[in-house]
């Protein structure tokens, strides 16, 4: 790690290291995508169930010999496994995600339809979690040992709550009992509130714990003392100095957090009947829809790789101590 003050964006004079950073990220990303594609390809074949039967309508329907054979030939399932594997890799490398067994349309079309709602859900979830965590951290730092203990308790409880339980409770309270919000996703923004809060709350608890500790440390540090000595108000110290410190672990964790939001989306999208990647992953796995499972996993992995790179970049911007490596 380079400890000089030359950070990535501030010094365009070091294009070599920036390119190296980008290349490293891209290489790592491609490796992750290959590993995901391979794990899915073999993993889904280890669980029992005939994909040809899945193609034929799955539950409640029985396919004839001719129909099964036709389906196998159409999707190349009659080929040896290694032929299928390399064929699959080649198609993926050339950008062909194949046709969904269960939906009978190109996987790329499914993803194009379902990626935006999931990104909106996860993005808003992350934003709301951040705001909640920061507010909680500021309040608990400002309000002495009792407030800190209460905030800490809240954080631990909310970070431990499972999504499906939280969703059910929120529906029962805000939809069935109070009638304020719809229990299912609707075209209006009101339909987004419960899903976003369900996703954000556990994450906010987790981020809040990390941020509060860092903020408390920063409040006690020498630079905070000197700022106070310069006549800075307590709020000013908090907002201008400590907050930046508290944000650092939050940014570092955001990549991980986004990943957890994507997995949380599987539960949240199903409960609130929201269209999205998570819900389609669930139904695709149930239906043994290999192309769709692969497509969703690759897109999620891709999004994760991008977010990790962004959070790395964000960390560099917020913390001048970290330079390009």
Partner 1 sequence: MTLARPLATRLFPTATALVAALVLAGCTPGTTTSDASGSPVTGGTLVYASGDAEPGCLDPHVGGNYPQALVASQYLETLYTKDAGGKLIPWLAEGSSVSEDGLTRTVKIRSGISFTDGTALDAAAVKANFEHLLVPKTASSTGYLALGKIDSMDAVDASTLELKLKSPDNSLLESFSMPWVAIESPKALKRSQAENCAAPVGTGPFKVESWKKQDSVQLVRNTGYVLPDPSAGHAGTAYLDGITWRFIPEAATRYAALQAGEVQIIDNAQPDTIAAAEKTSTIKHLDAPRPGASNRIELNSSKAPFNDVKVREAFIHAVNINASVDSLFFGTAARSYSPLSSVEPLAYSEDSLFGYDPAKAGELLDAAGWNKRDSAGYRTKDGARLSLTFPVSTSQSIPAEQSLFEQMQATAKDSGIEIKINLLDLSSWYGDLAKNNYNLVSAPYTKVGPSVLAILFHSDSTIPAPSGYFANLSQVKDPSLDALLNTAGATKDEAERKDLYTQAQKKVLEGYYLLPLYNQQNHFLYSSTLKNVGATTAVATPTFFDTWLDH
- The residue ranges that bind partner 1 (CB under 8 A) are 47-50, 52-71, 100-105, 110, 113-114, 168, 171-172, 175-176, 179, 182-186, 270-273, 275-276, 279-280, 283, 286-288
- Distance (Å, whole) CA 298 – CA 108: 11
Considering the complex, what minimum distance in angstroms separates the CB of residue 162 from partner 1? 14
Considering the complex, what minimum distance in angstroms separates the CB of residue 95 from partner 1? 20
- 197 alpha-carbon distance from chain centroid: 15
Cβ distance to partner 1 smaller for residue 110 or 129 = 110
Considering the complex, what minimum distance in angstroms separates the CB of residue 50 from partner 1? 5
Considering the complex, what minimum distance in angstroms separates the CB of residue 317 from partner 1? 37
Cβ distance to partner 1 smaller for residue 140 or 198 = 198
Considering the complex, what minimum distance in angstroms separates the CB of residue 222 from partner 1? 53
Cβ distance to partner 1 smaller for residue 175 or 221 = 175
Cβ distance to partner 1 smaller for residue 100 or 242 = 100
- Distance (Å, whole) CA 130 – CA 157: 17
- Distance (Å, whole) CA 91 – CA 101: 16
* DSSP 8-state secondary structure symbol assigned to residue 276: S
- Distance (Å, whole) CA 225 – CA 218: 10
- Distance (Å, whole) CA 24 – CA 278: 29
Cβ distance to partner 1 smaller for residue 212 or 279 = 279
Largest CA distance in the chain: 85
Say if residues 184 and 176 touch (Cβ distance below 8 Å): no
Locate 199 and state its tokens.
Answer: 């996703």
For 283-316, give one letter per residue: b (16+ CB within 10 A) or e: ebbebbbbbbbbbbbbbbbebbbebbbebbbbbb
Cβ distance to partner 1 smaller for residue 247 or 287 = 287
Provide the 3-class DSSP secondary structure of residue 191: helix
Cβ distance to partner 1 smaller for residue 119 or 238 = 119
* DSSP 8-state secondary structure symbol assigned to residue 10: T
Considering the complex, what minimum distance in angstroms separates the CB of residue 195 from partner 1? 11
Considering the complex, what minimum distance in angstroms separates the CB of residue 220 from partner 1? 47
């Amino acid at each position: 790690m380079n400890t000089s003050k030359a950070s990535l964006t501030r010094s365009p004079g070091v294009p070599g290291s920036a390119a190296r950073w980008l290349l490293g990220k891209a290489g790592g990303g491609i490796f992750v995508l290959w590993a995901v594609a391979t794990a899915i390809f073999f993993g889904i074949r280890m669980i029992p169930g005939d994909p040809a039967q899945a193609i034929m309508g799955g539950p409640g329907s029985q396919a004839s010999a001719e129909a099964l054979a036709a389906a196998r030939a159409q999707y190349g399932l009659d080929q040896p496994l290694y032929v299928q594997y390399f064929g699959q890799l080649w198609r993926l490398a050339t950008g062909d995600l194949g046709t969904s067994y269960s939906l009978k349309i190109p996987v790329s079309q499914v993803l194009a339809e379902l990626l935006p709602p999931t990104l909106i859900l996860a993005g808003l979830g992350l934003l709301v979690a951040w705001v909640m965590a920061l507010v909680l951290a500021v309040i608990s730092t400002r309000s002495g040992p009792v407030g800190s203990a209460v905030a800490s308790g809240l954080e631990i409880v909310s970070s431990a709550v499972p999504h499906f339980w939280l969703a059910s409770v929120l529906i029962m309270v805000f939809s069935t009992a109070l009638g304020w919000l719809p229990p299912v996703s609707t075209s209006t923004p009101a339909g987004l509130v419960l899903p976003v809060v369900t996703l954000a709350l556990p994450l906010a608890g987790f981020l809040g714990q990390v941020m509060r500790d860092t903020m408390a440390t920063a409040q006690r540090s020498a630079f905070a003392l000197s700022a106070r000595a310069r006549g800075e108000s307590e709020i000013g110290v908090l907002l201008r100095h400590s907050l930046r410190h508290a944000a650092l672990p939050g940014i570092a964790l955001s990549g991980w957090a986004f990943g957890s939001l994507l997995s949380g989306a599987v539960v949240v999208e199903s409960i609130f009947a929201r269209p999205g990647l998570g819900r389609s992953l669930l139904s695709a796995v149930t239906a043994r829809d290999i192309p769709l499972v692969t497509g969703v996993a690759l897109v999620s992995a891709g999004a994760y790789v991008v977010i990790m790179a962004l959070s790395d970049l964000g960390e560099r911007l917020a913390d001048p101590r970290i330079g390009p490596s």
